A = this chain, B = another copy of it.
Amino acid sequence: MSTADRLIESTRELLWERGYTGTSPKAIQQRAGAGQGSMYHHFAGKPDLALAAIRRTSEQLRAKADEQFTGPGTALERIAAYLRRERDVLKGCPIGRLTQDPDVMADAALRAPVAETLSWLRERLTQVLAEGRERGELDASLDPETTAATIVAVLQGGYVLARAANSVAPFDAAVTGVLGLLTPAVRCGAGATGS
């Protein structure tokens, strides 16, 4: 891995663990095993490096999510697979946590990939839900767009509850709860006739 890559990876880790304000250039350099000059040779400064890190994290997040969204099964099964996927729950969402960083939100360039990632997630889930509704897997009364927002919010909020409790239990409960709410939508609308 090149020095530039190591700097980006270190920044990704530190942004996840400590946020933008809590991450100093010095800490990044030490974790990457690079000197000051090295960092400022490859990147204009902390914001420039953070942008590269956030973009890479955003790409990885989307790719991992798409694994579940494009996987096998009904819409509900794919959503359950996504929500129940193995996650570093106690570390939280590496993208969602940046919304609490005022310096990130204040910088249009840093903010854009955060906004795009969460919008993309909602859109992608909207598609999956709409598809499930068309196929009769989900109740016709279910609104794909608002339900997609709910599902993404449950994830993001589940991380918050887990971090507060220092336990994955509230995250798991929130996921179980929303899947429980989604399941009757199948029973009531499509009937208990199938499989």
Chain A residues with a Cβ under 8 A of chain B: 17-19, 21-22, 92-93, 96-97, 99-103, 105, 111, 114-115, 117-119, 122, 139, 141-143, 145-158, 160-161, 163-166, 170-171, 173-178, 180-182, 184-185, 187-188
Contacts of A122 in B (CB 8 A): 161, 170
Contact B176 A181 (CB under 8 A): no
From A183, which residue of chain B is reached at the shortest CB distance?
B141
Identify whether the interface residues of A are mostly helix, strand, loop, or mixed.
Answer: helix
Contact B96 A97 (CB under 8 A): no
- Which 5 A-B residue pairs are closest in the complex by CB-CB distance? A153-B157, A150-B177, A157-B157, A156-B157, A146-B177
Contact A180 B147 (CB under 8 A): yes
16 pairs from A and B in contact (CB 8 Å cutoff): A19-B19, A19-B100, A96-B160, A96-B164, A114-B164, A115-B165, A122-B161, A141-B184, A146-B173, A148-B177, A149-B170, A150-B173, A151-B177, A181-B185, A184-B185, A184-B188
Most chain B CB neighbours (cut-off 10 Å) among A18, A100, A122? A100
A90: min CB distance to chain B, Å:
10
Q: How far is the CA of A165 from the CA of B116 in the complex (A)?
A: 8
A189: min CB distance to chain B, Å:
8
Contacts of A92 in B (CB 8 A): 99-100
Contact A149 B163 (CB under 8 A): no
A18: min CB distance to chain B, Å:
5
From A142, which residue of chain B is reached at the shortest CB distance?
B180
Contacts of A96 in B (CB 8 A): 157, 160, 164
Given A139-B184, A184-B139, A174-B152 contact (CB < 8 Å): yes
Contacts of A17 in B (CB 8 A): 102
From A185, which residue of chain B is reached at the shortest CB distance?
B184
Q: How far is the CA of A135 from the CA of B86 in the complex (A)?
A: 38
Q: How far is the CA of A182 from the CA of B184 in the complex (A)?
A: 10
